[in-house]
Amino acid sequence: MRAVITVAAALLAMARPAAADPVGARVLTAPTAWLPAAGAAVAMLGVDQRGDGAAVIGYGLGGIAEVELGADTDVRGCACDTRPSAIWLGRAAFRVGARQDAWLRGMPAIALGVRASFAARGHEVHEPRASDAYLVASRDLGVVRVHAGVDALSAAVDGRRSPARLRPLAGLEIHPPIYPRSSLIGDLAWTPALAGVPTLGWALGIGVRFQALPWASVELAVRAREHEDLGASTVLLRVNAAWRPSAPRSRRSDR
């Protein structure tokens, strides 16, 4: 415990005042605490070798929140005893938080988010639902960016609900100075599995992000899940884009 506190104190001591928060609502699966600028639009489109993926658009609400709408296949489900397969779930999310150094020097960015499913299609699972609420902190330490938090997840299938259960969230991004546009990324998160009774399983991801353009990045990653063999790991290709509005004088005070 003392070692953990020492490391945390050292990281805080290393922290420099951040000029602006990075962009990106998630590492791979785990959410980050970065929030888009007021009026900024963000989009993420991902696909893996199975044809599953995600498509999400977001909007920066006043510089202190973000609302997201989209669909993804993070939730697995099955109406039988075989291995669960990916379910396309429409999901919306709302996140509110504070930027790095907003309240005091060295503080990480923090975000409180809620995600809720609202539509499902193209599968045999009856009435799948998944919601989670998380609190996550993110800090840019220069070479590395760390993310840590806790997630309360709840899911239901065919009228059977599971109570909310707490799970940790963690993410790490390494930005080697010799490759200023590339970063190594990895995260750990939990996702629901809706086979019979709803359960939770971890999802571990590791990959590379390349900042191809000032407003767009490409990610290539591998994700493994608790209830799947290592051979069933998926290779994910993802594109992220962010458009910031032009900055008229009246809006500069918001940032």
Partner 1 sequence: MKQATFIFGTGFGTGLATVLATAAVAQAQPAPSDPPPSNVPTLPSTTAPATVDDPGPLIGGQVDPAVVPMPRKTATRKRPAIDFPEVLTTPTGWLLPAGVLYSKTAVDTGGGVTSDNRVGLGDVAEFGVATTDQVRERATEADKAERIQPYVTASFRMGVAENRLFAQQPGVTLGFQKSFERNHDGFKTRIAELTLVASKHLGKRVALHAGGALWDASLQSNRPVAGTDPAPPEFTLHGHNYADQIRVFGGFEAKPLDKSEILIDLGWAPEFCYGCADPDKIKLRPELSWGVRYEVARFMHLESGVRVPDIGNFNLLDAQIFGQVTFTSFALRDAVDSLK
Residues forming the site for partner 1 (CB under 8 A): 38-39, 59, 61-65, 67, 92-94, 96, 114-127, 129-133, 152-156, 161, 164, 251, 253-254
- Smallest gap from residue 38 Cβ to partner 1 (A): 7
Return contacts of 158-164, CB within 8 angstroms, 24+ apart.
Answer: 158/125, 158/126, 158/127, 159/127, 160/196, 160/197, 160/198, 161/198, 162/192, 162/197, 162/198, 162/199, 162/200, 164/133
Instruction: Find where tokens 């009435």 sit.
Output: 127
Report the C-alpha dihedral over residues 188, 184, 54, 70, rounded to 10 degrees. Answer: 80
Task: Compare residues 52 and 151 and give the one whose CB is closer to partner 1.
Answer: 151
- Smallest gap from residue 224 Cβ to partner 1 (A): 26
Query: CA–CA distance from 11 to each of 8, 35, 145, 151 (Å)?
Result: 5, 22, 11, 23
Task: Compare residues 189 and 236 and give the one whose CB is closer to partner 1.
Answer: 189
- Smallest gap from residue 211 Cβ to partner 1 (A): 28
- Smallest gap from residue 15 Cβ to partner 1 (A): 21
- Smallest gap from residue 171 Cβ to partner 1 (A): 22
Q: Provide the 3-class DSSP secondary structure of residue 54.
A: strand
By the 8 A CB rule, do 205 and 218 touch? no
Instruction: Give residues with Cβ within 8 angstroms of 82, minimum separation 6.
Output: none
Task: Compare residues 52 and 132 and give the one whose CB is closer to partner 1.
Answer: 132
Task: Compare residues 23 and 157 and give the one whose CB is closer to partner 1.
Answer: 157
Task: Compare residues 151 and 219 and give the one whose CB is closer to partner 1.
Answer: 151
